[in-house]
Amino acid sequence: MSDQHHRPKFRWHIVVFLAPAVLVYTAVMIYPLFNTLRLSLFTEVDQERVYVGLQNFRRLFGETVWSDQFWNALGNNFWFFVIHMLVQNPIGIALAAILSHPRLRFAAFYRSAIFIPTILSFVIVGFAWKLILSPIWGIAPGMLDAVGLKSLYAPWLGKEAYALTTLSLVSVWQFVGIPMMLIYAALLSIPDEILEAAEVEGITSLSAFWKIKLPLILPSIGIISILTFVANFNAFDLIYAAQGALAGPDFSTDILGTFMYRTFFGFQLQLGDPHMGSTIASAMFAIILVGVCIYLFGIQSRMRRYQF
């Protein structure tokens, strides 16, 4: 309101407030990123950079050497995302629902303990789970043996059919704390009057959750889903730490992040190709952008109606 009196005057304070963030962000993040994405329109001939338009994209989608790898990585990435949506987020919601129970004892302890995997680095997570699942160390086979299920053990990380699912579950283990915390916050912010009203009407706690709480936390679930989507399609570190840049066995754990890294920076005798690497990065960017737009304009605008 008060601003209107000063309309003709240039409001310098807005510039001052925005400048530091915009400058640092533009110089250190946006400029280097677009400088790199720009490379996808060039190629290198005899040490010279040549503009080739969309030819790199044509190669990526047209030549089987590239497109097979791309679709394989994209498919794996979708499976990686699906597991996070089907396992990580429901477990996170369930844990949050239990934790948000007002008379639960030791809630702070559980909350902290379950969040601990989230604060560990990928190097530690990758190494620890490789040890536990290792056929040599015998922690996993030994434990299964103790409950009489030895026959269920397989060297999961080395089997094409299981490796990606196993790693997705490890990633779920690591990050379940984030949806748990965010849903927990959303559940606590539901006004007590609503819950009390439900109690008066004799709605039991489980159906209260389905009928009253769940619709109210839908927007939070939406945000978690989109954050999961963006994080999963940018993921790289866990697969790299556990299976290396070739994402074995036989590329069965290759996701877009590892494919991009291997192409961009090279690997072993394979030389780095920044041009094809940034082509893949641009494709990743486009995929994420489409996903985010679907969420923003398709899902979120519809969900607003339920918000209180």
Of 248-277, which residues contact another protein (CB under 8 A)? 248-251, 257, 260-261, 264-272, 274, 277
Map tokens 């339920």 to a residue.
306
Smallest distance, Å, CB 8 to another protein? Answer: 14
Please tell me whether residue 301 binds another protein under the rule CB under 8 A. Answer: no
Closest to another protein by CB, 79 vs 173, is 173
Please tell me whether residue 58 binds another protein under the rule CB under 8 A. Answer: no
Residues 157-196 that bind another protein (CB under 8 A): 157-159, 173, 181-182, 184-186, 188-189
Distance of CA 30 to the CA centre of its chain: 21
Report the residue from 144, 194, 246, 303 that binds another protein according to the rule CB under 8 A: 246
Residues 143-162 that bind another protein (CB under 8 A): 154-159
Q: What are phi and psi of 189, to 5 degrees?
A: -85, 0
Please tell me whether residue 79 binds another protein under the rule CB under 8 A. Answer: no
Residues 85-114 that bind another protein (CB under 8 A): 91, 94-95, 98-99, 101, 104, 106, 108-114
Smallest distance, Å, CB 156 to another protein? Answer: 7
Report the residue from 223, 299, 300, 303 that binds another protein according to the rule CB under 8 A: 223
Smallest distance, Å, CB 45 to another protein? Answer: 12
Please tell me whether residue 294 binds another protein under the rule CB under 8 A. Answer: no
Please tell me whether residue 197 binds another protein under the rule CB under 8 A. Answer: no
Task: Using CB under 8 A, count the residues that bind another protein.
Answer: 119
Please tell me whether residue 306 binds another protein under the rule CB under 8 A. Answer: no
Closest to another protein by CB, 158 vs 195, is 158
